Structure 1
């Protein structure tokens, strides 16, 4: 079919905005197109839903459409992650959804790369594995299982330095699912979900999706990268599924140091597979073999997505005077004249980080290993000279974090205590006890990840950081690692989790969390209150507005964005009684994250009481 023919798609304008230029590829759900965004004058990738002949109807058609919406929602939840293709929007055209995604120029998928250039070196496969593992665990933290990790879904693209495969991205969340969220599964029970040679055995026999199943698929993918073919590659899909369940993988002959990692990831029993932390550590040792067993591998700055370099390195904050406030109210909330949406204008202290290092396993933990002091005894700093604290951290302590080279989450942070009301970078939320300094170094980060998971899942933009005792300071630190939760791109602006008190006024959206109930005394005063008593709104979740949306625009668009992305009906609220609300923060625009807090409230403006869903 000629590319310019009327039925080819080239030259069509989708949703009055996106001009299709050429087809980039095809998959199980449809085609991916290179398109020109006529409004912003830039290139994007559009995923088109295509129904094969005969066109499905009824439940099957609805399921295909729903899968597209789910893909966009799941991937959008990971927007901004350095190893996930960014999803900008999902739109309707001619009754079908199209997903608007980041166009990754010069990208080639791992399958194509191996077909063109042959198998990769073990260290290169390990580097790819670290990036994909980081993306997977960020999804797992949100309860999203990918379910289709395979070479064709891993993109390699030039980084900012020009290295041809420096940037690594996981794509295609088309069959992902949140099993713990009661989410509808848009696939037939009789159909295997995934790619036959890359399915985990428990998935091939009808088991539920789990992080361990995604790790099995990652093992198959890395095996393909280093060996040039899949570990269960056979002459038919049925034969591959049978091999996955009944047979051992072909012995790897080119894997070298990667071999033991592959064998552990490909264990038939999911309980025999390594944890994410163990897999990350093993891959890190292959990428950086001279590093200590507890050293964290970091991605070179050039491996970050292009937008990560857009913001200049942050400079020391200048004092920001409070905005003029009418009627005597504090500088907390601004109400749009025509809408019940609010803005919290207090500025964030730090600019968007110039780059993100490769995050620690389980998404976002940076191992703050402390430098040993030359002295010993009671005068030793608990966490070493790099962290700099003279006294051990206590539960609920708020801190400021200064990073080497002014890049957040790169290197070991130097900490300073601060009042929780003075825009802290984060707070101590838990501790991880250890029998020795070596055990703290080896296991502290993973234990902190587990202990802070619940509070992190309720916040929009935070990461876990483990502050590990130094050898000399192990006893002074109380024989335990301090588990911090820090804002990913700026301060958290106040206490977190259970450290917050009822009646406390919010000075920024950064420490608003899911399930919070809010009292809006005025349009400039949002306070945390008990959900068992009268309240005006409840926080349901978060969404992000596009990078081109200005803060004044956000004031008029945030309610609609929340109604679309976090609809109250999905949380059991009657749409004839309840509607979406939203809160925006000037800080999230200064940091470039553009997060919006989405709430539910009564349409008539009345109070809610004891109505937590």
Structure 2
């Protein structure tokens, strides 16, 4: 049995498969190695469990081993999340567990980045905060608390566009816990569960772990990002804990627009602390400040038709028709539905979406908009030919329902010039909208690029749209939907949505923190020859075959598959099926589900 810290482990082969190349770092539970997977011929990261104290008792050893297994289990449950380091496996070697993880090439943690390059700008720190918050929220919805959110556990890595810190990942679920499940909490007798200076005051005084405690730690982390030190930094851990409990944070001097939400996250009383929804809204306003000034009519989906009942309203006649037939080789492929933006690439027109060179409009005469797009704008796209070929004319659907929108503005990318926007806008929008597209089933990215003359009027930004790939989206997408809103079509449903289902067949978006009837697991498709009526009848059986709930950790003796279809996907030829999980006895589900 390996019982002490490694000094030279380079060259060791773990479990007959992983060749250790060099140390990447270490923490309280062990070392992290870069390793070569000799079976798959790729690089991975391995976390090695070590016992620094040879005299450590059997209970402490058991606790360390159990915590490693818990880390792998909890992180693996979030492996499809774009902002969580993926865990591939946990294996035994020399009677100790090793965790096999995604190797994030070129990554640097937030602590090291700030120490090397100085504090972040408030908007950049807000962008990082949004990604970490999204990861935390996904864990909280599964009942998993991180309990050690801090700069050293946030990795920044190059994204697919080459931006050096474009990808944000939350790492190290080593002390995470699911309090609602009653699982054993493996806490070292001599160790504090969390990091002094980032630990919520209620945790420092022995209170139970809650999502609010993770949000306090996020507030401390954001403070560090813009100020260069923690809000309760002191010479010793004991002094830091005392400050967390009894003292106010140091006044922020560099936080700017980030200051109010950081202050709200650092409230001593968990009940007075900013919620996840409030934090998300505040951070989004900093990342995309124009969104705060734009008054958008709230969507009322209650007037829309039910799923699998009345057909959705017909599209306005001025729009070019969608393609009606999906290639037969794609029918029924869950992988395509989930891949979304990974398969389809954003395109700008041959002129880069610039329109007439003499136009004073932000995006040119062809696009036709007289003002810049802002976050959340729903749009109607009129294509000059086939959809996604050339540059469309755009009109706004201010309610996101009146005209049955083709898509919505989801992000922006800022460039130094209109030329850079033409050259890189589509690629950058592809990356910025990737997370949203991966949660939806049938959408594409599209970049609306400003003209040379309209570059300043467009705020020096390219607008990143998410558009229905084969049909309109029938309503707002992603974070612009409201809890309680009635779904008009399956096009706006995304993975891990929680649903309330009324007796009359109406389906509404529910909060995953409370009680709900079903949860969306994924999507599949039916063949071109399947009629809509047949699709309704076969939906549940198809989902039980293609997206079985047991693959997601649901006990097959308690849960079963559900399936939903709408006429919109049949009219477009995609024959999309939303696959859910529900209780066999018809009861409600709660936040402690797998």
Check if 1:17 corresponds to 2:35.
Answer: no
Give the superposition deviation at 1:207: 1.1
Partner of 1:507: 542
Partner of 2:337: 350
Tell me the secondary structure at the aligned position of residue 353 of structure 1: helix
How has the CA–CA distance of structure 1 residues 34 and 258 changed in structure 2, closer, same or farther, with 3 Å as cutoff? Answer: same
Partner of 2:509: 483
How has the CA–CA distance of structure 1 residues 164 and 6 changed in structure 2, closer, same or farther, with 3 Å as cutoff? Answer: closer
Partner Cα distance (1:110, 1:285) in 2: 22
Partner of 2:222: 222
Partner of 2:552: 542
How has the CA–CA distance of structure 1 residues 347 and 150 changed in structure 2, closer, same or farther, with 3 Å as cutoff? Answer: closer
Partner of 2:326: 317
Partner Cα distance (2:144, 2:165) in 1: 27
Give the superposition deviation at 1:490: 3.4
Partner of 1:286: 286
How has the CA–CA distance of structure 1 residues 53 and 460 changed in structure 2, closer, same or farther, with 3 Å as cutoff? Answer: farther
Partner of 2:175: 175
Partner Cα distance (2:546, 2:39) in 1: 34
Tell me the secondary structure at the aligned position of residue 291 of structure 2: coil
Tell me the secondary structure at the aligned position of residue 250 of structure 1: coil
How has the CA–CA distance of structure 1 residues 263 and 441 changed in structure 2, closer, same or farther, with 3 Å as cutoff? Answer: farther
Give the superposition deviation at 1:196: 0.6
Consecutive unaligned residues of structure 2, counting only runs of 5 or more, are 297-322, 344-374, 382-396, 408-439, 448-463, 488-492, 501-505, 511-517, 528-534, 562-578, 584-594
**Are the counterparts in 2 of residues 492 and 511 from structure 1 also a CA contact under 8 Å?**
no
Give the superposition deviation at 1:489: 5.8
Give the superposition deviation at 1:87: 0.6
Partner of 2:114: 114
How has the CA–CA distance of structure 1 residues 274 and 316 changed in structure 2, closer, same or farther, with 3 Å as cutoff? Answer: farther
Q: How many aligned positions are there?
A: 419
Give the superposition deviation at 1:95: 0.3
**Are the counterparts in 1 of residues 148 and 175 from structure 2 also a CA contact under 8 Å?**
yes
Greater CA drift, 113-122 or 345-354 = 345-354
Greater CA drift, 196-205 or 159-168 = 159-168
Q: TM-score, normalised by structure 2?
A: 0.60
Partner Cα distance (2:22, 2:335) in 1: 42
Tell me the secondary structure at the aligned position of residue 196 of structure 1: coil
Partner of 1:70: 70
Once the two structures are superposed, residues 454-475 of structure 1 have per-residue CA deviations (whole angstroms, 9 ceiling, x without a partner) of xxxxx99534699xxxxxxxxx
How has the CA–CA distance of structure 1 residues 444 and 165 changed in structure 2, closer, same or farther, with 3 Å as cutoff? Answer: closer
**Are the counterparts in 2 of residues 147 and 209 from structure 1 also a CA contact under 8 Å?**
yes
Partner of 2:405: 387
Equivalences for residues 232-271 of structure 1 within 5 A: 232-271=232-271
Give the superposition deviation at 1:21: 0.5
Check if 1:49 corresponds to 2:81.
Answer: no
**Are the counterparts in 1 of residues 482 and 509 from structure 2 also a CA contact under 8 Å?**
no
Once the two structures are superposed, residues 239-281 of structure 1 have per-residue CA deviations (whole angstroms, 9 ceiling, x without a partner) of 1011000000000011111111110010101111111111111
How has the CA–CA distance of structure 1 residues 320 and 355 changed in structure 2, closer, same or farther, with 3 Å as cutoff? Answer: closer
**Are the counterparts in 2 of residues 35 and 45 from structure 1 also a CA contact under 8 Å?**
yes
**Are the counterparts in 1 of residues 441 and 494 from structure 2 also a CA contact under 8 Å?**
no
Give the superposition deviation at 1:318: 2.1
How has the CA–CA distance of structure 1 residues 372 and 281 changed in structure 2, closer, same or farther, with 3 Å as cutoff? Answer: farther
Once the two structures are superposed, residues 515-543 of structure 1 have per-residue CA deviations (whole angstroms, 9 ceiling, x without a partner) of xxxxxxxxxxxxxxxxxxxxxxxx5x626
Consecutive unaligned residues of structure 1, counting only runs of 5 or more, are 297-313, 323-344, 357-366, 374-378, 390-399, 418-424, 429-439, 453-458, 467-479, 495-499, 515-538, 544-565, 574-581, 583-594, 600-613
Once the two structures are superposed, residues 140-189 of structure 1 have per-residue CA deviations (whole angstroms, 9 ceiling, x without a partner) of 11100000000000001111222111111100000000011111101147
Once the two structures are superposed, residues 379-408 of structure 1 have per-residue CA deviations (whole angstroms, 9 ceiling, x without a partner) of 99871335379xxxxxxxxxx97534389x
Partner Cα distance (1:239, 1:502) in 2: 64
Partner Cα distance (1:196, 1:265) in 2: 17
How has the CA–CA distance of structure 1 residues 286 and 48 changed in structure 2, closer, same or farther, with 3 Å as cutoff? Answer: same
Partner of 1:462: 496
Tell me the secondary structure at the aligned position of residue 39 of structure 2: coil
Equivalences for residues 200-599 of structure 1 within 5 A: 200-292=200-292, 317-319=326-328, 350=337, 352-354=339-341, 370=378, 383-387=401-405, 402-405=442-445, 411=466, 413=468, 445=481, 447-448=483-484, 461-463=495-497, 483=509, 490-491=523-524, 506-509=541-544, 539=550, 542=552
How has the CA–CA distance of structure 1 residues 247 and 19 changed in structure 2, closer, same or farther, with 3 Å as cutoff? Answer: same
CA RMSD in angstroms comes to: 4.8
Once the two structures are superposed, residues 491-529 of structure 1 have per-residue CA deviations (whole angstroms, 9 ceiling, x without a partner) of 3879xxxxx999986113478676xxxxxxxxxxxxxxx
Tell me the secondary structure at the aligned position of residue 445 of structure 2: helix
Tell me the secondary structure at the aligned position of residue 46 of structure 1: strand
**Are the counterparts in 1 of residues 378 and 398 from structure 2 also a CA contact under 8 Å?**
no
**Are the counterparts in 2 of residues 71 and 173 from structure 1 also a CA contact under 8 Å?**
yes
How has the CA–CA distance of structure 1 residues 503 and 103 changed in structure 2, closer, same or farther, with 3 Å as cutoff? Answer: closer
Partner Cα distance (1:57, 1:295) in 2: 62
Equivalences for residues 74-93 of structure 1 within 5 A: 74-93=74-93
How has the CA–CA distance of structure 1 residues 481 and 261 changed in structure 2, closer, same or farther, with 3 Å as cutoff? Answer: farther
How has the CA–CA distance of structure 1 residues 11 and 596 changed in structure 2, closer, same or farther, with 3 Å as cutoff? Answer: farther
Partner of 1:150: 150
Tell me the secondary structure at the aligned position of residue 405 of structure 1: strand
Partner Cα distance (1:371, 1:213) in 2: 39
Partner of 2:369: none
Partner of 1:138: 138
How has the CA–CA distance of structure 1 residues 271 and 443 changed in structure 2, closer, same or farther, with 3 Å as cutoff? Answer: farther
Give the superposition deviation at 1:112: 0.5
How has the CA–CA distance of structure 1 residues 112 and 503 changed in structure 2, closer, same or farther, with 3 Å as cutoff? Answer: closer
How has the CA–CA distance of structure 1 residues 316 and 190 changed in structure 2, closer, same or farther, with 3 Å as cutoff? Answer: farther
Partner of 1:519: none
